[in-house]
């Protein structure tokens, strides 16, 4: 990006470099491996706010985590699941709460609707059961001292450890029957809140237009302010539409792609992550004269495309002709 296009003015809050400090802003978030960014265009305050409120939305899409897992890309899976997802393990016996642990899900000790309790292992069972029995008054009712409780639980845990699957192990003194299960369990993750992908895609589009066109974007797109407002969550914007679209390929690949193209009746931005997760933004038409600089280099250019190879980090830029034919460009 050549800084003279939009120099020392934050494209979001419009404050100048005399008032603020600038920060590197990733158009495609680093959290998903993006390395397309702008410098000296977004202030630190806006960068921090949008990172916290908007960029994180893409991590709430289960398909994005599935793609990174399938492609073997590094990310803080446990942290993402803890922050944005409800996690459960499912078996024939039911649906149980679980916690992220070492890249997988681990069952947690929990009470079930029928009054029983489930634990991931006998040691957890022994520890948690002791807390419950000390708390609920069972010992007083049974006249059992704490020292005897520890002995009974140690004996129960030892017999449970050596018991066969589904073999009942009883402790009459405490009125307990326990047994081991070995049901296969599958993981289930559901976002705690549905992601606001309208804001996420709008942000990528807004920054991509500025990356490619600089201030000519605002001059040629009367709806640029609507796009800005959409980034900041204005639900009243009716001129711009965002939806998940069908990519040419549904398999995941180690590439990200982002492009816009100006049609006579509308403008379109497409963001494609991992080759198989695609979002499209449709906006009113804009003046194709904004692309004059590109058309001076390659005749018939109506859009600009970016592709990042996640394998080696390489980046490529293309001009798009009216039939979507790509022409390799240097960086805009």
Domain boundary among 158, 187, 216: 187
Whether the predicted pLDDT of 200 surpasses 50: yes
Collapsing DSSP states into helix, strand and coil, what is residue 82? helix
Q: Is residue 199 part of a domain?
A: yes
Q: What are the structure tokens assigned to 216, written together?
A: 């000519």
Closest CA to 56 of 82, 94, 38, 36: 82
Q: What is the mean pLDDT of residues 225-241?
A: 94
Residues 90 and 47 in one domain: no
Indicate whether 179 and 222 sit together in one domain.
no
Rounded Cα distance, 299 and 241, in Å: 30
Residue 295 pLDDT more than 80? Answer: no
Co-location of 172 and 210 in the same domain: no
Residue 307 confidence (pLDDT) above 90: yes
Q: 132 and 50, same structural domain?
A: no
**What range does the domain containing 146 cover?**
82-187
Residues 253 and 178 in one domain: no
**Which of 192 and 103 is assigned the larger pLDDT?**
192
Mean pLDDT of 34-61: 95
pLDDT digits over 72-128, tens only?
999 999 999 999 999 999 998 899 999 999 989 999 888 888 888 888 875 567 787
| pLDDT at residue 109 in the model | 83
| pTM (2 d.p.) | 0.86
Most confident of 57-61, 247-251, 322-326: 57-61
Task: Mention every residue, 6+ apart, whose C-beta is less than 8 A from residue 81.
Answer: 87, 100, 105, 189
Going by pLDDT thresholds of 50, 70 and 90, the confidence category of residue 3 is very low
Under the banding of pLDDT at 50, 70 and 90, the label for residue 1 is very low
8 A C-beta contact, residue 269 and residue 286 = no
Residue 320 lies in a domain: yes
The DSSP bridge partners found for residue 308 are: 256, 315
pLDDT for the residue 132: 82
Q: Is residue 43 part of a domain?
A: yes
Residues 216 and 311 reside in one and the same domain: yes
- Position 296 scores a pLDDT of 66
Residue 281 near residue 242, CB atoms below 8 Å = yes
- Say what the pLDDT of residue 141 is: 81
In this predicted structure, the answer to whether residue 221 has a pLDDT above a threshold of 90 is yes
Is residue 73 one of the residues assigned to a domain?
no
Whole-number Cα distances in Å, 56 to 29, 83, 146, 197, 256: 8, 10, 49, 10, 17
Mean pLDDT of the chain: 90
pLDDT attached to residue 244: 97
Residues 293 and 220 in one domain: yes
When divided into structural domains, the chain yields a total of 2
Q: What is the pLDDT of residue 6?
A: 45
Q: What is the mean pLDDT of residues 195-217?
A: 96
At 198 the pLDDT is 96
pLDDT 10s digits, 255-287:
999 999 999 999 999 999 999 999 999 999 999
């Amino acid at each position: 990006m050549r800084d003279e296009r939009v120099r020392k003015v934050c494209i979001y809050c419009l404050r100048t470099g005399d008032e603020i400090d600038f920060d590197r802003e990733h158009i495609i978030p680093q959290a998903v491996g993006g390395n397309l960014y702008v410098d000296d265009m977004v202030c630190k305050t806006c960068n921090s706010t949008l990172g916290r409120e908007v960029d994180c939305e893409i991590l709430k899409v289960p398909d994005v985590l599935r793609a990174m897992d399938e492609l073997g890309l590094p990310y803080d899976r446990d942290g993402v699941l803890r922050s944005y997802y409800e996690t459960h393990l499912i078996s024939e016996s039911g649906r149980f709460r679980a916690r992220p642990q070492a890249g997988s899900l681990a069952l947690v000790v929990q009470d079930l609707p029928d009054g029983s309790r489930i634990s991931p292992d006998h040691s957890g069972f022994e520890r948690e059961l002791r807390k419950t029995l000390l708390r609920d008054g069972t010992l007083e009712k049974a006249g059992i001292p704490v020292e005897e409780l520890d002995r009974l639980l140690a004996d129960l845990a030892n017999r449970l450890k050596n018991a066969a699957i589904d073999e009942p192990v009883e402790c009459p003194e405490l009125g307990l029957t326990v047994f081991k299960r070995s049901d296969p369990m599958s993981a289930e993750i559901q976002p705690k809140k549905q992601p606001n992908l309208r804001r996420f895609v709008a942000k990528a589009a807004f920054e991509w237009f500025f990356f490619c066109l600089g201030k000519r974007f605002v001059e040629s797109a009367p709806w640029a302010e609507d796009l800005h407002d959409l980034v900041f969550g204005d639900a009243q914007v009716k001129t711009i539409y965002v939806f998940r679209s069908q990519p040419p390929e549904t398999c995941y690949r180690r590439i990200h792609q982002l492009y816009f193209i100006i049609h006579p009746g509308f403008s379109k931005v497409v963001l494609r992550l991992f080759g198989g997760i695609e979002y499209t933004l449709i906006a009113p038409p804009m003046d194709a004269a904004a692309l004059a600089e590109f058309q001076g280099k390659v005749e018939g250019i109506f859009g600009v495309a970016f592709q990042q190879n996640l394998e080696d980090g390489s980046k490529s830029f293309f001009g798009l002709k009216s039939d979507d034919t790509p022409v390799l460009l240097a960086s805009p």
